[in-house]
Amino acid sequence: MAGLAVLCRRRRHGFRDGYYRILGRVDDVINVAGHRLGTKEIESACLTCSEVAEAAVVPVVDELKGRVPEVYISLKPGILPKKAVEDKVIATIETMIGKIARPKMIHIVPDMPKTRSGKNHAPRPRGHLQHHGHR
């Protein structure tokens, strides 16, 4: 089973019940000032906000910290893009993960780009998606 982790490049933990839980891809990690943050964990924190339908996180260069997360979110139908939503997402990330995970910017987008199979395709940072607001 150890070969699976290397082959798939995934982090996993074995539990006493004999099952393995896939926690996320090892290469989906942002090194922020020496702290390794998983993009999936940040995305999951965003999704706990009731206004957020989808979330994607990409690393961007930061002069002080090396790399920092940049967050793209699409909102549920009927929710208007407002600074209050951005502030709520930031507060949720800081509460669930820590202030080190604070995103450099939050982009509210109409929807997330998808692959042919329907999976979220992480947006490219800086100008590739039209955004309504940022922080």
Domains present along the chain, CATH in parentheses: 27-108 (3.30.300.30)
Give the separation between CA 95 and CA 103, rounded to whole angstroms. 13
pLDDT at 30 over 60: yes
Q: What average pLDDT score do residues 122-133 get?
A: 47
Q: Would you place residue 111 in the very low, low, confident or very high pLDDT band (cuts 50, 70, 90)? A: confident
Give the separation between CA 126 and CA 2, rounded to whole angstroms. 38
Which token pair is 10?
A: 């995934």
- The identity of residue 101, as a single letter, is A
The confidence score (pLDDT) of residue 17 equals 61
Q: What average pLDDT score do residues 41-63 get?
A: 93
- Global pTM reads 0.70
pLDDT at 124 over 50: yes
